[in-house]
Amino acid sequence: MTASHETQAQAGTAPALDYDAIIIGAGMSGLYQLYRMRELGMRVRVLEAGTGVGGTWYWNRYPGARFDSESYSYSYSFSKELLEEWNWNEHFAPQPETERYLNHVADKFDLRRDIQFRSRVSAAHYQDATRSWDVTLENGDRFRTRFLITAIGPLSAPTMPRIEGVDSFKGASFHTARWPKEPVSFEGKRVAVIGTGATGVQTIQEVAKTAGHLTVFQRTPNWCAPLHNSRIDAEQMAKIKAGYPEMFKRCQETFACFLHTPDPRGTFEVTPEKREAFFEKLYASPGFGIWQGNFRDILTNPKANDAITDFVARKIRQRVKDPVVAEKLIPKNHGFGTRRVPLETKYYEVYNQPNVELVDIKEAPIERITPNGIKTSDREYEFDIIIYATGFDAITGSFDRIDIRGVDGLRLKDKWKGGPRTYLGVMVEGFPNMMMLMGPHTALGNIPRSIEYNVEWVTSLIRHARDHQLTRVEATAAGVASWTDHVKSLGVGLLSNEVNSWMTGINSNVEGKQTRIIARYSGSAPAYRARCDEVAATGYRELALA
C-alpha cells in the first residue's frame, strides 16, 4: 500500500484506489481484458508472474507444444486490422508461433505499459468498508483496486507427482509447464517422460526424434487421434483471411465454438458400412473433428461410444507393430472422447522405434525417484533427463494458489471445498467486484472464442457499474445456486463425467482432489451466451448492485 493510503487510513478517510481494475494474468484473457478496460478509460494494471505475455503460451514451451485447434480459429477476432496483418504458418501453430502472435498483439495495442511482469499475486482480500480489493504480490507490494479480474487460466497450476525422491535426482528435470527458455538438447541422452496426456503425447513424439533412449512411464493411456498438421502457403492464407467473417460466425454457432460440431445423426442411424466410412473420414481429417464433429451420441450413448472406441483401438493395433505394446497403449478404463483427446503426429509409430520403450506403471509402479533415475517395483532405470508431463491442478487450482478472501474474510478455497459454485462462471456470492475470466462453470470449448465473449460480458458489466455509479457488484446466493444446479444438470448422462480426469476435478497429486466433481459447464456455447446476454439485457437485475 502506498504512503498516501496509510495517511488517509490514519486520518479516517477512505483510502484512494490505486486502480479501477486489476487483472491477474497477461495471457489471452488478460490481454484482451486490458484492451477493453482501456476503452472504458479506466486505470488498469495487469499483474503477471512471468517475464512476458502469453499465459499458457508463455509457460508451456515444452518440445512439441502446439495448437490442437486450427490456428486461425484460435486468434482474436476483435480487430480486423490484426486479422489482416497476421499470417499463420501452420494449420496448427507450434508454441513459438503463438507466443510471437501474442507478443505482436501486445506491441500493436501498446499493452505492455500497463502490465507489470515478475509480479505473482499471493493474496487478494476484499474490504467491504471501501468496496475494494487489496491485492498483495509475493514480494509484499500491495495495491488497492475497485474491481479484481482473474485471468489466471483453467490449466495453469502445474502439479508434480507425489513420488518420493523427486528432489534427489542429479540430472536435469523439468515440468512441461515450466520449461526453460534456453534450448534443451536430447541428443544421445537417456530421457524419461512421466505422463501421457495431451502434453505428454506432444512431448514424447518430439523427444523421440533425437533422444539416445526414451522411456515413457505411462499410468493411463489416452485415446489419441491424428492431428494432420500442414503448412499454410500465401495463397491459402489469403483464402483464410477472405473467409474470416464466415468462419468466426460458424464458431459462434457450433456447440463448443470449434470449427467442428456434432453430426446430427446418431451412430446407429446409418448402416455399418456408412458408419465405418464416416469414422475413416474423420480419422483422416485434420483437428478435433473425430471428437467434436462425430455422431451426436458418441459421448452420451455407451453403445455408440463403444463403436468409435473399437474403431480407434483397431487403428492403434494397426499402427503399433508389437501387439503387447499396442495393448498397453489402448485404454481399458474409459471410452474414446470421454477424456480430452490428445491429437498426435506419428505418436503411435514412436513405439516402433528401437530407441523408445514403454513402461506400464500400473503393472510396475514407480517407487521413487533416485539420484540416478527412476525406480519401479521391477527395476531401476538411469536417466540424464526426467520430464514431468504430469498435468495441472485444473480449473480451481490457480485460484487455490492465491489467498482470495471475500466479505468477512471468507476464503474462496473454503467456499469451493465441495466443488466450485459460481454465477455464470464469472462471479461468486460473497466476493463482490471480483470477475473471473475462464473461471469454473463457464463455457470453455475453443478457448479464445469463449475468452472474447467472457471479456466483453465483464466489460459491459463494469461499464454498467461506472455509468450507474455502482461501486459494489455481487452475485446473489440464489443466482449462484441456480447456475450451479443448472451446470450440474447439464452434466447428467455425459460419459466424460463418469471418468477420472482433470475435467472431473481429479488430480492424484493434490490433496483433496480425489473425488469427482462437475468442474465444467457442458452445455452449448450458444446457450451459455444467450443466458448471459439475457442477464445483461435486463440490466443485471439478478445481481446485487449498490
* Binding span for ligand NAP by CB under 6 A among 119-127, 195-203, 301-309, 535-543: 195-203
Q: Does 509 bind ligand NAP (CB under 6 A)?
A: yes
Picking from 385, 390, 537, the residue whose alpha carbon sits closest to that of residue 460 is 537
Residues 6+ apart with CB under 8 A from 94: 64, 65, 66, 67
- Helix H, strand E, coil C: the string for 294-346 is CECCCCCCHHHHHHHHHHHHHHHHHHCCCHHHHHHHCCCCCCCCCCCCCEECC
Binding residue (CB under 6 A) for ligand NAP from 27, 54, 161, 425? 161
Q: Does 173 bind ligand NAP (CB under 6 A)?
A: no
Which residue in the block uniquely carries the three cell numbers 499483474? 47
The stretches of 109-215 forming alpha helices (DSSP H) are: 198-207
Picking from 224, 443, 462, 251, the residue whose alpha carbon sits closest to that of residue 349 is 224
Judged by beta carbon, residue 75 or residue 459, the one nearer ligand NAP is: 75
- Nearest approach in angstroms of CB 203 to ligand NAP is 9
Q: Does 446 bind ligand NAP (CB under 6 A)?
A: no
Q: Does 153 bind ligand NAP (CB under 6 A)?
A: no
- Nearest approach in angstroms of CB 191 to ligand NAP is 16
Q: Does 219 bind ligand NAP (CB under 6 A)?
A: yes
- Nearest approach in angstroms of CB 61 to ligand NAP is 12
Exposed, middle or buried by CB within 10 Å (0-12, 13-18, 19+), for 112?
middle
Picking from 135, 130, 142, 134, the residue whose alpha carbon sits closest to that of residue 471 is 130
Residues contacting ligand NAP: total by CB under 6 A: 25
- Nearest approach in angstroms of CB 10 to ligand NAP is 48
CA-to-CA dists, residue 531 to 114, 486, 496, 527, angstroms: 32, 11, 24, 6
Binding residue (CB under 6 A) for ligand NAP from 254, 294, 390, 446? 390
Binding residue (CB under 6 A) for ligand NAP from 391, 419, 448, 505? 391
Per DSSP, what are the bridge partners of residue 126? 133
Judged by beta carbon, residue 180 or residue 365, the one nearer ligand NAP is: 365
Binding residue (CB under 6 A) for ligand NAP from 15, 63, 94, 197? 197
* Binding span for ligand NAP by CB under 6 A among 76-84, 190-198, 396-404, 466-474: 190-198
Q: Does 389 bind ligand NAP (CB under 6 A)?
A: yes
- Nearest approach in angstroms of CB 380 to ligand NAP is 17
Amino acid at 199: T
- The SS3 assignment for 405 reads strand
DSSP string, 34-71: HHHHHHTT--EEEE-SSSSS-THHHH---TT-B-SS-G
Residues that bind ligand NAP (CB under 6 A): 66-68, 155, 161, 163, 194-200, 202, 219-220, 340, 361, 389-392, 502, 508-509
